[in-house]
């Protein structure tokens, strides 16, 4: 669909102050706009090694001063639960990330690595020596209906982590963050691949935070403070390793994904937001209450405002945002930044499309995790005639 020069010009003038397109200073990072590409698992990293096609995919979506958060990236062999997701525990993986991070930096993009451990959302086949996956509990995750398959995903019974084992896992997060920094130093020692901790969606850290899962009686279970202890120890360790102003955390207090419900998600979200202030981390990325599953959104009166008010760093929201309500959220100061997941997935030049009020390409759910280096991945079109 072509736009004439006049209409484009008019639209640019009309939308020049569109809130999500205004610049924002996030710590030491100068963002050109308030639109963020959130983490999206794409399962195209064969045998957990990031591949060259990821450099094309991310560089298509990178822009000067644009913030991108990588797909969830596994911190250890035991942290795996899905086929062909990237890792960042080995030298080979760090080397494989380098050209990808460099491709984002070459466009002036700011890139964070989402460091991830799935905990009990795994099976024996992904675990070293076929061992049970680890978790806060020994209760098995019941089979989950999958977006792209008739078959529900099945999981193996986990092993409850012993209290004294927890520091080792904290250390794996710390090493993963260090590896990410190493992967970012390819050409410029100043441009890096920062760490963003995955504390959402029913994975390991969430398995400790949420009281529907955590049934421990040690100092990592029971009270809210105890359940949040592990996640905050990870935040502290990663911040000590790479500096707090390079660390972000994602949380989804309201989500029930992978049976991760909580009896008081607002108290949990506010407690985490307040606790994070002590560590002075760069940002907190929260998933809206309207997204309980990764795909479906619905109306709710619950809101992230109490967490927005409590957290002193940069606040990012996620979950079902489009141009209109993203702009509204920024205009009403309900957030600093807005992430657009599926819209970025299918529109590599999304900020430009917003700016020009251009039509958007619809995402194709059936190819989200297609094991193909191109299809549904690097073949989403750019706008034409907008030079």
Helix (H, G, I), strand (E, B) or coil at 69: strand
H or E element in which residue 196 lies: strand 193-199
> Tokens standing for 157?
């019974």
Q: In which residue are the tokens 């005639």 written?
A: 385
Taking CB under 6 A as the binding criterion, the range among 160-168, 253-261, 300-308, 316-324 that sits at the site for ligand FMN is 316-324
Rounded CA-CA distance 177/239 in Å is: 9
114 binds ligand FMN (CB under 6 A): yes
Is the torsion defined by CA of 234, 306, 71, 242 positive or negative?
Answer: negative
199 binds ligand FMN (CB under 6 A): no
Q: Active-site residue numbers?
A: 203
204 binds ligand FMN (CB under 6 A): no
**Nearest residue by C-beta to ligand FMN?**
341
CA distances from 225 to 221, 273, 283 (A): 8, 12, 21
> Tokens standing for 71?
């797909």
- Shortest Å, Cβ 248 to ligand FMN: 11
CB 155 within 8 A of CB 140: yes
Rounded CA-CA distance 261/324 in Å is: 30
Among residues 3, 61, 210, 342, which is the contact residue for ligand FMN, using CB under 6 A? 342
248 binds ligand FMN (CB under 6 A): no
202 binds ligand FMN (CB under 6 A): no
Taking CB under 6 A as the binding criterion, the range among 60-68, 196-204, 222-230, 238-246 that sits at the site for ligand FMN is 196-204
Per-residue interface string for the shown chain with ligand FMN, residues 140-179, x marking contact by CB under 6 A: ----------------------------------------
Among residues 76, 137, 294, 367, which is the contact residue for ligand FMN, using CB under 6 A? 294
What DSSP assignment string belongs to 273-285? HHHHHHHT-SEEE
Beta strand 29-31 with 24-26 is antiparallel
Rounded CA-CA distance 108/32 in Å is: 10
Among residues 62, 72, 209, 284, which is the contact residue for ligand FMN, using CB under 6 A? 72
Among residues 27, 38, 66, 87, which is the contact residue for ligand FMN, using CB under 6 A? 38
- Shortest Å, Cβ 333 to ligand FMN: 20
Q: Which residues bind ligand FMN (CB under 6 A)?
A: 38-41, 71-72, 114, 198, 200-201, 250, 287, 291, 294, 318-321, 340-342, 368
């Amino acid at each position: 669909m072509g736009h004439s020069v006049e209409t484009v010009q008019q639209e640019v003038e009309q939308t020049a102050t569109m809130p999500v397109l205004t610049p924002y200073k996030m710590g030491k990072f100068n963002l050109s706009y308030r639109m963020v590409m959130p983490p999206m698992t794409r399962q195209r990293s064969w045998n957990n090694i990031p591949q060259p096609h990821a450099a094309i995919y991310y560089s298509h979506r990178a822009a000067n001063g644009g913030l991108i958060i990588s797909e969830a990236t596994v911190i250890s062999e035991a942290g795996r639960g899905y086929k062909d997701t990237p890792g960042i525990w080995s030298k080979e993986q760090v080397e494989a990330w380098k050209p990808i991070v460099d491709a984002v930096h070459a466009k002036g993009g700011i890139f964070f690595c989402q460091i991830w451990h799935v905990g009990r959302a795994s099976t024996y086949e992904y675990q070293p020596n076929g061992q049970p996956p680890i978790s806060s509990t020994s209760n098995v995750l019941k089979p989950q209906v999958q977006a792209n398959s008739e078959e529900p995903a099945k999981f193996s019974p986990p092993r409850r982590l012993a209290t004294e084992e927890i520091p080792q896992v904290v250390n794996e997060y710390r090493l993963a963050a260090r590896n990410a920094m190493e992967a970012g130093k390819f050409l410029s020692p100043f441009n890096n691949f920062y760490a963003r901790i995955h504390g959402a969606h029913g994975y390991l850290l969430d398995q400790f935070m949420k009281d529907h899962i955590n049934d421990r009686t040690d100092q990592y279970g029971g009270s809210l403070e105890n359940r949040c202890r592990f996640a905050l120890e990870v935040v502290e360790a990663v911040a000590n390793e790479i500096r707090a102003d390079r660390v972000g955390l994602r949380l989804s207090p309201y989500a029930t994904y992978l049976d991760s419900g909580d009896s008081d998600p607002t108290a949990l979200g506010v407690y985490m937001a307040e606790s994070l202030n002590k560590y002075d981390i760069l940002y907190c990325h929260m998933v809206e209450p309207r997204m309980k599953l990764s795909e479906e959104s619905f109306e709710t009166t619950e809101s992230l405002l109490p967490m927005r008010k409590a957290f002193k760093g940069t606040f990012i929201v996620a979950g079902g945002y489009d141009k209109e309500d993203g702009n509204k959220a920024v205009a009403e100061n309900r957030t600093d930044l807005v992430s657009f997941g599926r819209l970025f997935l299918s529109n590599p030049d999304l900020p430009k499309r917003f700016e020009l009020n251009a039509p958007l390409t619809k995402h194709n759910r059936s190819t989200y995790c297609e094991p193909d280096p191109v299809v549904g991945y690097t073949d989403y079109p750019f706008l034409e005639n907008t030079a």
